[in-house]
Chains A and B, each alone.
Chain A
Amino acid sequence: MSATRIPPPQPAQRVGAAPKKPTPAAPTPDGPDLRSQLRAWLEAHRASLSDSLRRLARQPVGSFFTCLVMAVALSLPMGLALLLDNVERLGGSWQRAAQISVFLTLETSDSQGQALREQIAGLDDVAEAEWISREQALQAFQQESGLGQALRELPENPLPGVVLVTPAEVDKATLEALRQRLAELPGVEQAQLDLLWVERLTAILKLGDRFVFGLTLLLVLALLLVIGNTIRLHIENRRTEIEVIKLVGGTDSYVRRPFLYMGALYGLGAGLLAWLVLAYGLNWLNDAVVRLAGLYGSDFALGGVPLGDGFSLVLGAVLLGYIGAWLAVARHLSELAPR
C-alpha cells in the first residue's frame, strides 16, 4: 500500500509533552490566533445550525406537527391574554356603569348645580361630570317611565338636580373614596354608586388574569415536555454518533450544541405558527364580535396581535425550545457515555 507521509506531529501536540492539566490539542503547529479561533467557533455554530435545519427538513411532516402542537399550546394562553386585553379595553365603556350619581338638595339652583359640576369635574379622580337639571330629569323620567300624565299632575317637580360623575379609575376602593368625598360637598343630598357592577367587572378581570397565568404555567410545562420528548427521540436516533463524538474528544457542549439549535428552531417555527394562528383566529372572531357590539350600539372591534406581542411570542417560544432541549440533553447526556 502506498502511503504519503505528512509531517509528524509537533512535540507540543503529543501526549508526552502535554502539561499536567490536559489542554485541547493545538490545531496548528504555531497555535491558532484569536481571529482563526473565532472563525472556527463561528464555523462550528454555523455547521450545527445547518445540520439541525437539514435534519428538520428531512422530516418535514413530523417537524411541522411538532411545531403545530407547540403553536397550539402557545396560542391558547396568548389568545386568552389578548382577549382579556380587549375586554379591559371594552371596560373603558363599562366605566359608565360605575357612574356616581350625585343628587343635590331640592333647594339647589341651576347656577349652583353648574358651579358644583365644574368643581367636581376639576377633581383628580373624575374623568367627566355631567349636569342634569331638575327639569331635564323630569322630562327624561316622563319619557322613560311612561308615567308622563301622572307626573304632570304633581304640584311641583319632585326630582332633584343631578351631577353624573364618570370616575377616572374603575377600582372599588378609589370609587368608594370618591363617592364619600362627593357626598360631603355642600348642596349634595346623596352620592350613589352602583358598586356591584364594578365589583363584578374587577372580579372577572382578576379571575381572567389568574386563569391566563395558571394556563400559561401549565402550557409552558407541557411545551417543555413536548420539546424534551422530541429532543430525546433525536438523541436516541443519534446515539451512535454521540458515542463516537465523545470517543474522539467531543465535549458535552459540543454534543449538546446541535440539539439546542434544534430546540430553538422548533421554538421559532412554533412561535411563528402561533402568531399566524392568533392573527387569523382574532380576525375570524372579530366579524362576530363587531356584529354583536353593533346590536348594543357600540363600534367595538377586537384588536389584532400587536407587533411587540408577536415578537415576544416568537422570542419566548425560541427560549422555551432552547430550555426544553437543554433540559432534555442534560438529562440524557450522562446515559450517552461511550460503551
Chain B
Amino acid sequence: MIRFEQVGKRYPNGHVGLHELSFRVRRGEFLFVTGHSGAGKSTLLRLLLAMERPTSGKLLLAGQDLGQITNAQIPFLRRQIGVVFQNHQLLFDRSVFDNVALPLQILGLSKADIGTRVGSALERVSLSDKAEQFPGDLSTGQQQRVGIARAIVHQPALLLADEPTGNLDPRLAAEIMGVFEDINKLGTSVLIASHDLALIARMRHRMLTLQRGRLIGDGEAV
C-alpha cells in the first residue's frame, strides 16, 4: 500500500529530512515510526500527506506516485487518508459534531448521511454525548478523541497520526491506542509517529526506527 524507494527529502536550506528511505507497508498493517526529535518522523508523514514532495527516490501510495501528483489531485488523495495531530487541530468555533462532520461536508454527503456517520464515529470514540459541545469545553483526551473521530469518519484506507498521545497521561494514551487498534481491526492501515517507546513496546506492532533521516531499524517492537 505504501512503498518508499530510496526516498530522500532535502530542504532548500540544505537540511536533509530523509535519506534514501526504503520500506513497504501492507494494506491493513499497523506500524509505528519512532525516533528522536528531528529523526524525520514528521517529514515522513508530510510526504505521505503530499504536504511536501520527495526530492529523490519514489514514494508510492496505493500505486500513485506522490512525487508526480498534481496540485489538483492532492485534495482527492487526502480524502482517502485520515490524519490525527498531536495538537488536535480542532476548530474551536464549531461544535464537536461539526468538527467531525467536516470531511463529510467536503465530500458533499447529504445531511442525513452526515448525521449517521458522525454519530457512529463519535460512538466509536465514546463521545456520543458531547456532540453539541464545543472543543474548548472538553478535556485534552476528549479533544484528541474528537480528532480521531474526524480522522476516521470518512472511513479512510490509511490513518496517519503524529504523536497522538504526546500530551496525554499514560492511561489516556493507552485508551487512544486502543481506539487505533479497533480501527485497524476494521481494515484500515494505521501509521503512527511516536517517540513513546514504552507505549509502542506494549502494543507489539511493527516499528520503524529513524535516526537523522535514515532508517536504522525495522521490526516488531519489543
The interface bits of chain B over 126-161 (1 if a CB of A lies within 8 angstroms of the residue's CB, else 0) are 100000000000000000000000100011111000
B76, B91, B121, B126: the one within 8 Å of A240 (CB) = B91
Beta-carbon contacts under 8 Å, A26-73 to B:
27-28, 32, 36-37, 39-41, 43-44, 47
Chain A nearest CB, measured from B145 CB (Å): 9
* Distance, CA A338 to CA B46, complexed state (A): 10
Contact A248 B110 (CB under 8 A): no
Residues of A within 8 A of B124 (CB): 3-6
Known: A22-B80, A40-B108, A240-B89. A250 touches B157 (CB 8 A): no
The interface bits of chain A over 88-108 (1 if a CB of B lies within 8 angstroms of the residue's CB, else 0) are 000000000000000000000
- A11-19, A228-236, A310-318, A321-329 - the one binding chain B: A11-19
Beta-carbon contacts under 8 Å, A245-264 to B:
245-252, 254
Report the count of interface residues on A (CB-CB < 8 A): 46
* Distance, CA A2 to CA B178, complexed state (A): 10
Residues of A within 8 A of B49 (CB): 247, 338
A22, A43, A244: the one within 8 Å of B73 (CB) = A22
Contact A5 B63 (CB under 8 A): no
Contact B83 A2 (CB under 8 A): no
In the complex, what residue of chain A is closest to B126 when comparing beta carbons?
Answer: A1
The interface bits of chain B over 47-71 (1 if a CB of A lies within 8 angstroms of the residue's CB, else 0) are 0010100000000011110000100
A1, A20, A32, A247: the one within 8 Å of B64 (CB) = A20
* Distance, CA A14 to CA B82, complexed state (A): 12
* Distance, CA A36 to CA B186, complexed state (A): 28
Residues of A within 8 A of B108 (CB): 24, 27, 32, 37, 40-41, 43-44
Q: Report if A25 contacts B (CB, 8 A).
A: yes
Contact A27 B109 (CB under 8 A): yes
Contact B75 A250 (CB under 8 A): yes
Contact B102 A25 (CB under 8 A): no
A17, A39, A47, A249: the one within 8 Å of B78 (CB) = A249
The interface bits of chain B over 5-35 (1 if a CB of A lies within 8 angstroms of the residue's CB, else 0) are 0000000000000000000000100000000
B69, B110, B125: the one within 8 Å of A36 (CB) = B110
Chain B nearest CB, measured from A205 CB (Å): 52
Q: Report if A241 contacts B (CB, 8 A).
A: yes
Residues of A within 8 A of B188 (CB): 8-9
Contact A248 B80 (CB under 8 A): no
The interface bits of chain B over 169-208 (1 if a CB of A lies within 8 angstroms of the residue's CB, else 0) are 0000001001100100011100000000000000000000
In the complex, what residue of chain A is closest to B107 when comparing beta carbons?
Answer: A27
Residues of B within 8 A of A245 (CB): 102, 106
Tell me the A residues contacting B by CB distance below 8 Å.
1-6, 8-9, 13-18, 20-25, 27-28, 32, 36-37, 39-41, 43-44, 47, 240-241, 243-252, 254, 337-338
**Interface pairs (10), CB distance under 8 Å:** A2-B126, A4-B120, A6-B124, A9-B155, A16-B1, A18-B62, A40-B109, A43-B111, A249-B78, A249-B106
Other than the known A18-B80, A44-B108, what 15 A-B pairs have Cβ atoms closer than 8 Å?
A: A3-B182, A5-B124, A9-B156, A9-B187, A14-B80, A17-B62, A18-B62, A22-B64, A28-B109, A28-B113, A32-B108, A36-B110, A40-B110, A47-B105, A337-B51
